[in-house]
Amino acid sequence: MGGVCEHSQVRKSTLVILLALGAAFTGWVISSVVRDLRGQAAAAGAIVAAAPQTATLHWRETYGRAGQQLVFTVDRIQVLGRGWRARIGIENKTTNAYDVGSPNSALDRSYGLMLFPTHSSSDVEQRIRNGTLPPIRKAVSFAPSLPTTLEAGQRWEGTISAPGALVAGSWARVVFGTLAMVGNPPPNTPPTIVWITDHALRLKS
């Protein structure tokens, strides 16, 4: 079963830098999307959980200039009876290594989904400016495990998953991070990166 997908042109230079400063995941307003969705669903009388579904996506997005890019891919998102899972990948096509972090490290492993009330890129940008990004539905399982460090030229591909229902009618974006550059970053390059996909998938009821 497929899903409705939109590709929103978010200003990634602004997005990555703001997220790299650490403001995105430290207690921002976590109920904003639920409130927005509740308003949209008022006529129906209730917010419902997304039904089991599978969307084959083939998303591919890049950060950085040609020859010095991080590549983020999403092949599939599935909503299950008691949770969700996604097939994703990261490729380091830069000349620098990036720390990905072990489960016991202080580096925040912000991999998972963010649910938005619309697919609008301007909505994402406004939430960044206002500090009202939705909470991350963090993945709790990685198969295979994430590497501690993603070396130059290395690629990781795997399935992330977590329990818990997702809201029908919301737009799901995949979050990758935190990636922390090993050593001193080149000029105008953020030392840490969290990536939210431009693409978004509407979840069906």
**Residue 179: CB atoms within 10 Å:** 26
- Say whether pLDDT at 31 is over 80: no
- Alpha-carbon span 137 to 196, nearest angstrom: 13
- Say whether pLDDT at 21 is over 50: no
- Say whether pLDDT at 52 is over 80: yes
Least reliable range by pLDDT among 20-24, 126-130, 175-179, 200-204? 20-24
Place of tokens 């927005």: 36
> Mean per-residue pLDDT for 133-139?
91
Q: Which range, 2-6, 39-43, 96-100, 153-157, has the best average confidence (pLDDT)?
A: 153-157
> Mean per-residue pLDDT for 161-180?
94
**Phi-psi group of 56: left, alpha or beta (phi > 0 → left; psi -120 to 50 → alpha; rest → beta):** beta
Structural domain boundaries enclosing 170 = 4-202
CA angle, 110 then 86 then 78, to 5°: 130
Question: How many folded domains does the chain comprise?
Answer: 1
- Alpha-carbon span 113 to 162, nearest angstrom: 10
Give pairs for 188-194: CB < 8 Å, separation 24+.
190/16, 190/17, 190/20, 191/20, 192/20, 192/22, 193/16, 193/19, 193/20, 193/63, 193/70, 193/98, 194/16, 194/19, 194/20, 194/24, 194/25, 194/110
Q: Mind listing the pLDDT tens digit for each residue in 83-113?
A: 999 999 999 999 999 998 655 554 567 899 9
pLDDT of residue 60: 96
